[in-house]
Amino acid sequence: MKTLTIIGAGKVGKVLGRQLTLHRVFKIQQVLNRSAGSAQLAVEFIGAGQGAAGMEQLRRADVYLLAVPDDQIAATCAALALQGLLDATSLVLHCSGAKASTELQAAVQAGAAVASLHPVRSFADTAQVRASFAGTICSLEGDERAIAILLPALQAIGARVVQIGADSKLLYHAGSVFASNYLVSLLDTAMRAYVAAGIPEEMARAMAEPLASQSLANVFQMGTAAALTGPIARGDMDTVARQQQAVAAWDAQAGELYRSFIAPTVALAQRKLG
């Protein structure tokens, strides 16, 4: 098996390391985190490898997985090259959804293969993801040498792979942000509005949950246009106007959010009408 060193084994790095170990795809060699303690905890979660206290302690590996924050990818790659750890036999990949393999120029200059890999799911609960990773969709882009190694590796751990171009990463990741991160922000606004209207917080969650859950189920069963309900779908624009004013009077930011959703929801309603 090829050896794999993980740099930045947070939630994503730990889960990927665990899956690659469990399915005997790569041999985890070392894990480098910000502290020796967090590196050891990651090693225990993964079930393989050794913790490293600094870049200077890293040994040469076949594959380097950079699961660091986006703004640290290029610098981390450059540090690997500076340590003399990269050559034409190396593969370097990162896990950013928004940035492409073009961030890994230091590796390219050293002759290494490069790629970016992004699992399309929430990693809020790592234990749950670890237990149910099979079927996870992963976007993959990079050079041919990297794809030839990573495609079968991802398939071996049960991932569904979608290959995309480097120039599509930002727009692709924006889709994930809308579907996950902004959805959470939107639901937070919904529940705050309930509370502002005098509904106890626990009851607000109980009111929002069936609406959100059923709407999501309808979207994926019926499509977005057919799933749309509410005043805009009914053409009740007077209610929409008065409601936007009421929301803005309560919270200016929430009012702007409400206003920004009107036009795209009108367009969606028109699609529903055919």
Q: Residue 51: CB partners within 8 Å, gap ≥ 6?
A: 30, 31, 32, 33, 36, 39, 40, 42, 43
Q: What is the pLDDT of residue 274?
A: 72
At residue 272, does pLDDT exceed 90?
A: no
What confidence score (pLDDT) does residue 233 get? Answer: 94
Q: If you average pLDDT over residues 35-60, what whole number do you get?
A: 95
187 in the same domain as 156: no
- Are 138 and 21 found together in one domain? yes
| Domain limit, last residue, from 164, 197, 215 | 164
Residue 55 has pLDDT above 80, yes or no: yes
Domain identity same for 159 and 176 = no
- Asked which of 164, 182, 209 is the last residue of a domain, the reply is 164
Same domain, 127 and 229: no
Tokens of 142: 């990079």
Specify whether 106 is located in the same domain as 160: yes
Q: What are phi and psi of 235, to 5 degrees?
A: 80, 20
Give which of 110, 104, 122 is closest to 83, Cα–Cα. Answer: 110
Let me know whether 187 and 257 are in one domain.
Answer: yes
> What pLDDT digit, counting tens, does each position of 138-192 carry?
999 999 999 999 999 999 999 999 999 999 999 999 999 999 999 999 999 999 9
- Write the CATH number for 111: 3.40.50.720
Q: pLDDT tens, 188-235?
A: 999 999 999 999 999 999 999 999 999 999 999 999 999 999 999 999
- Do 183 and 240 lie in a common domain? yes
List beta partners, residue 160.
137
pLDDT per position as a tens digit, 96-150: 999 999 999 999 999 999 999 999 998 989 989 989 999 999 999 999 999 999 9
What pLDDT, on a 0 to 100 scale, did the predictor assign at position 214?
97
- Same domain membership, residue 129 and residue 93: yes
For the cut 80, the answer to whether the pLDDT of residue 2 exceeds it is yes
223 and 232 in contact (C-beta within 8 Å)?
no
pLDDT at 53: 86
Confidence of residue 17 (pLDDT cuts 50, 70, 90): very high
Number of domains the chain is built from: 2
One domain for residues 15 and 129: yes
Higher pLDDT, 218 or 53: 218
Q: Is 72 found in the same domain as 45?
A: yes
pTM for this predicted structure: 0.84
| Containing structural domain, residue 130 | 2-164
Domain boundary among 106, 141, 164: 164
Q: Is 161 helix (H, G, I), strand (E, B) or coil?
A: strand
pLDDT the model gives residue 273? 85
What's the CATH number where 247 sits?
Answer: 1.10.1040.20
Looking at the fold, whether 132 and 183 belong to one and the same domain comes out as no
The reply to whether 56 and 20 lie within a common domain is yes
Judge contact between 249 and 255, C-beta under 8 A.
yes
